[in-house]
A and B are shown apart, each in its own frame.
Chain A
Amino acid sequence: MAKRITIDPITRIEGHLRIDVEVDGGRVTNAWSSAQMWRGIEIILRGRDPRDAWMFTQRFCGVCTTVHAIASVRAVENALGLEIPLNAQYVRNIILCAHALHDHIVHFYHLSALDWVDVLSALKADPKKTAELAQSLSDWVGNSETYFRDIKNKLNNFVTSGQLGPFGSGYWGHPQMKLPPEVNLLAVAHYLTALDYQYKANQVVAIFGAKTPHIQTVIVGGVALAINPDNPSALNLERIMLARELLNEVKNFVQKVYLIDAIALSALYSDWFEIGKGVTNYLAVPDLPLDTKGTQFDLPGGTIFNGDLSTYKPITSFTDSYFRDNVSESVVHSWYKDIGVKHPWQGDTLPDYTGFKEDGKYTWSKAPRFQGEPMQVGPLAQILMGVASKHELTMKWVNFALDKCSSIAKKPITIDKLQSTMGRHLARAIRASMLADLALKHLDLLEQNIAKGDLEIYPYKTGVKFPSGEIRGFGFHEAPRGTLSHWVVISNGKIKNYQAVVPSTWNVSPRDEKGRRGPYEEALINNPVVKPDQPLEVLRTIHSFDPCIACAVH
């Protein structure tokens, strides 16, 4: 007899998510993912100045922050047919990389590690052995015995205070927690250290974004970050040097600690390469543009269907019609009035709450589809595009990760295995390692361009003007959680319609009009659940997507 489990709230994610599963014989047989909040920002945007849209859309989410700002200005720029000054592209790109570095680090250590790491077991670890283990994995300077001993003492003081704060509710001692105490101590230590490095990544975002979360320098047409090497109140070489030092430190941490920890974790839990595959159609968009028009990129994008890399089809520019023409959203199972399957330019968002009806409407999330198919988006999708297109930087880090993982797991872990719960974690760490390289590359590009005497950041001679009549635009961006697109219809300089199709919308998607499940739902099928009152395994698979519900529904 199938047992129904409702997990609400799902924690250690952004936003309000409810997951329902049916468990039969220790396995999940059916699943529903239900977003629990709607704010109506798409409606609020109507009638407003398109130059302001990015400020509003950025507040879709304070976790991925930056990304809706960038997608929004790209959508409006696309509608206006604007080219973006090179400096502005680079600044946006550095922001993209630095922010994603912070986001991926925080996701791994602070949002998902507690699914795999038993904090209390770390108290039993021998710091000396932990140090030996850590040193065998990586030459990170922090891996000393004194360091781990200090962390263990801190943990002791904390635990013995009896006030366990956010850790009091954890799944300590759960049968699925399988790491030895030494590894647990290593992870706890890096939980704390990671806080320092995500902070440094954020400082870089703040250098170029003025503040964070919610940067305040991106504008339609370019950036508002004044660049002037000869002025104390503009971006000058001191700022660039500061950014470079910070990025170097972050890069070191990401490539020597985060990636290594992800590899070790995945090797030690290698059975999770067999779980949580789910929807195997993948979508990613190219990003980190290298020219003013957005036709050359440092990150590849495209589609892959049925998990078959040979079906790879690229998306090549900011005006790509393959992407533009094939996105739609269905709302049959969402708490909106049915208006049929719509392309975002024709989309609407009319609330129609019914309560949770498992065969009817059960979520605030819409169901995005590409050529009518559900798609999985995220770092994994991007890595697969890189592999399919033989992207050099991707291959470098994928090979590094899989070799090391195979050697620790003592069995071959192939690219194919990345299509899984654990694969999503590993892909994210691989992506972070790539972005750490790319952040520095784009910082260099920026500096070189400034050195050429180019200080342009915005088309100030012509300004940004809206024609009378109707124009439409779309802008995409490869966010930390995957493919993001914003769609805008502007009439006489005012927003007439605005629709966002967000990475987490793709992934948290409910069933569509044909009854096909979305990626979270599909990935849960066959998940083990050994203790239904502590459904840790469900959390593992859900967390591997890095859900963001404020994003998904907005």
Chain B
Amino acid sequence: MLELKELSRRDFLRICTAITATLGLPFTYVETVQSAVQAKRKPTVIWLHFMECTGCSETLLRASHPPLGRFLLEIVDLPYHETLMAGAGLQAEESLHKAVKENKGEFILVVEGAVSTKDGGIYCQIGGRPALQILKEVAKDAKLVIAYGTCATFGGIQSADPNPTGAVGVSEIIGTSKLINVSGCPPNPYNLLATVAYLLTFNRVPPLDEFKRPLFAYGRRIHDHCERRAHFDEGRFAESFGDEGHKRGYCLYKLGCKGPVTYANCMTLKFCDIGAWPIGAGHPCLGCTEPDFWDKMTPFYEHLKDVPIPGGGIISNAEKIGAIALAGAGLAIAVHAGAGFVKKALKNRANDENKKEEGA
């Protein structure tokens, strides 16, 4: 990196001229090069893809402020992002190593996707090495790690029962000391962009919740700002998709909405700058920003059905168990009472017989 203080004006000019020449630009460009070199260096971001669907990366294509073009050209320096970068194979590997080496302790690492831990992590390999290994190495030299998306934050879909690959979130591998979680499947791109902006503007990590998520994005429940909330409070519910209540924009609680237990800002921020979001369209929230939502929020169209019995880990139907237990209690009572009557009757008979014998 250029240490401007130590350079004389003449040296500086010489370097800029050299850069201009290297780039094959006419001499008139020296001035442009000067101002560019003097300008603040863009912070380096390294983006790693592990077990994921690239939906999280795709979110960046769905943002307008800033648009991806400006983000890439003017805001950050993103030398490694497998979906965007020009080079492949050797060239890609090299640019990762170079970026890490040149920005040791300075770069922001964004991780998209979960990490396989089963069988040495062979279920996800890049350049012949398990994601597990790559993450440990690169994260070590990062200043901060942002786990982007529910896969990276909490393990995501591949960690859903029975988790065939032993997939886990980033925190399970590198701890949480320099971690920021930006969850969602996929997350709202502005939650990442604003996190980066926050870091650059305030030069500190935003306040986080228990799951290491920025409060500005995950500090509120969907339910508490939901546009359908008045209908909830007044007991107006859609009972089925397409029914009268649904057509009138009533609350989706009975269709399985997880808004009451989900922390996110979809209801205020919405998607794609056109005011779209799941509940707005008429589909319940899945709780996609919450840990283990693939197991805990399913079946998605039930308000609460399969309750994991604590401890056992067996998914069981609480309603059924409850009803059976209640019926069982009733039955037990009936049997118990019945047994009492029978016993009493027997005893009375015995007494009668005793009396008879006595009397005889």
Contact = CB atoms under 8 A, between A and B. Distances in A.
A169 B91 contact: yes
B126 A214 contact: no
B157 A59 contact: yes
A16 B88 contact: no
Interface string B13-25: 0000001100111
A175 interface: no
Contacts, number: 322
Interface in A364-404: 364
Contacts of B164: 39-40, 43-44, 351
Interface stretch (A106-114, A301-309, A436-444): A106-114
Interface string A35-64: 011111101100011011001100111110
Task: Name the residue among B41, B61, B88 with the largest chain A CB count within 10 angstroms.
Answer: B88
Given A40-B158, A124-B24, A207-B274, A214 B165 contact: no
Contact of A7 (B57, B69, B80, B88): B88
A535 interface: yes
A209 to B, nearest CB: 8
B126 A8 contact: yes
Contact of A44 (B58, B162, B228, B278): B162
A231 interface: yes
B281 to A, nearest CB: 4
A44 B158 contact: yes
Nearest to A168: B79
Interface stretch (B193-201, B237-245, B324-332, B343-351): B237-245
B37 A212 contact: no
B127 to A, nearest CB: 5
B283 A217 contact: yes
A455 interface: yes
Contacts of A8: 89, 126-128
A38 B53 CA distance: 11
B186 A213 contact: yes
Interface residues of A, number: 106
B68 interface: yes
A345 to B, nearest CB: 21
Interface stretch (B138-146, B175-183, B206-214, B292-300): B292-300
Interface stretch (B116-124, B215-223, B352-360): B116-124
Contact of B62 (A192, A212, A222): A212
Given A65-B55, A195-B61, A455-B247, A49 B122 contact: no
B23 A159 contact: yes
Interface string A184-212: 00000000100110110011001101111
Contacts of B87: 11, 168-171
Contact of B242 (A123, A154, A202, A226): A226
A225 B281 contact: yes
B168 to A, nearest CB: 13
Contacts of A359: none
B307 interface: no
A14 B125 contact: no
Main secondary structure of the interface of A (DSSP, over half): loop
Nearest to B266: A211
A56 B186 CA distance: 13
Interface string A211-235: 1111011010111111110011111
B290 interface: no
Contacts of A232: 249
Contacts of B163: 44
Interface stretch (A269-277, A288-296, A456-464): A456-464
Given A44-B157, A52-B299, A13 B83 contact: yes
A202 B90 CA distance: 34
A164 to B, nearest CB: 7
Contacts of B128: 8, 18
Nearest to B95: A169
A162 interface: yes
B83 A111 contact: yes
A310 interface: no
Given A159-B23, A165-B76, A226-B246, A59 B185 contact: yes
A180 interface: no
Given A48-B299, A457-B242, A203 B78 contact: no
B282 A226 contact: yes
Contacts of A459: 242
A48 B298 CA distance: 9
B26 to A, nearest CB: 9
B32 interface: yes
A458 B86 contact: no
Contacts of A223: 241
A14 B54 contact: yes
A130 B126 CA distance: 40
Interface in A140-158: 154, 156-158
B135 to A, nearest CB: 14
Contacts of B167: 39
Contacts of A61: 53-55
B273 interface: yes
A352 B164 CA distance: 12
A259 B249 CA distance: 41
A62 B281 contact: no
Contact of B83 (A11, A198, A242, A353): A11
B124 A198 contact: no
11 contacts: A44-B161, A52-B298, A61-B53, A160-B32, A165-B79, A170-B87, A211-B266, A217-B283, A225-B283, A233-B280, A234-B282
Please provide the 3 A-B residue pairs with the shortest distance between their CB atoms, ordered closest to farther.
A62-B55, A169-B87, A233-B249
Given A157-B36, A211-B272, A550-B52, 4 more contacts: A44-B157, A44-B161, A160-B37, A163-B44
